[in-house]
Structure 1
Amino acid sequence: MLQIRIDQQFAQIGLNIQKSFLGLRTTQPQIELDIKKPELKIHSPRPKVYIDQRQCFADMDRRAPDAFGEYNVQFARREAFEAIGEIAAEGDILAQIENGATIEDIAGRAMDRDIDYNVTAIPKQPPKIEADVRPVEIELIRGRVDLQLQRGRVENLFEWGKVNVYIEQKNYLNISWEEMVNVKG
């Protein structure tokens, strides 16, 4: 009897895969600001007040000119410090340009104030008062902002993917046979 034997092996392929890669290298944009601050120059000449009270003192015979002068000096200092504080506050308002305050706004606000003067008469004759008032001189030097932009960059580092195909196992077919003798005896 004839016995046939068939051995076979299928082929196998292998894949060597290299994935694609996308690398991005970025450079951030930069902004350089050159800022020149605004300046506000305020010159406020002091007012001059001329008071002739010789006749008042002669009538009342109470306060000597030196004592009265000292009293008025203290009063003037107090008023001057308040005026300086007010001018500084107005300067701070103008320095904050983002709030939109203008010199006209501040000048208009100053004009709306009611000023109350009270003069007490010394019994027989009031003092003779003359004032020399000068306006406040304001000079604004505008600030500026210069901007320089250095643009950012994006560099593309792309590597293509690859697929290499190779035979990992070869195929074969092997056919063999044997003749078998059947012995009966």
Structure 2
Amino acid sequence: MKIMNVPHLNIQSQHAQIGLQQHQPEMSIKQRGADLRIDQELVGTLRISTTASRLYIDQSEAFADADLKGPLRRGKEWGTKGKQSVLEYIAKTARDGERLKKIENGTNVLSELARESGQLKVKEAHFTMVPKDIFRVRFDYVPSDVRISVDWPDPQIEVRRNDPDIRIPKWQSKVYLQQKNWIAFSVEGSTISKQL
């Protein structure tokens, strides 16, 4: 029987490792607010016009109740009363004439006419208020008219926009060899034993 140790080759290796380093700074955006400018003249024109209010009071009917009348009104009333009296007198005369036409019938017309004409009129007394009521005085009111007009200049508005300040720094990547590759060979069992 033969025992033989054959040498064999042992190989050990290590793969290379690459490292990656990255630097990513933040992006920044800044922007100033817009510049706003407003100009306006504060000298305007304000116009206010008014008409005077008017109050009319008509007391003529109240004064008439107290027999305080103007000459035109009194003349008109007397003319109306005179016309009425004339018409009444004409009517009475016509009636009396008709009665006198029938005197031949034996009626005592003359004594009746004398008695009617000689009778005194009965005086009547009345209680009344002066003025008769509150509506005898008339009021007419015209309110004042107010007109307002404003001449105000328009404002001038100017807006200036400011551009944004954008900063984008470079991103950097660094590649490096983190571990080198290597290979090692070794022979084991370098002796051969023979036994016969």
TM-score class, shorter:
0.3 to 0.5
- Give the TM-score taking structure 1 as reference length: 0.46
- Give the TM-score taking structure 2 as reference length: 0.44
- Which entry has the higher C-alpha Rg, 1 or 2? 2
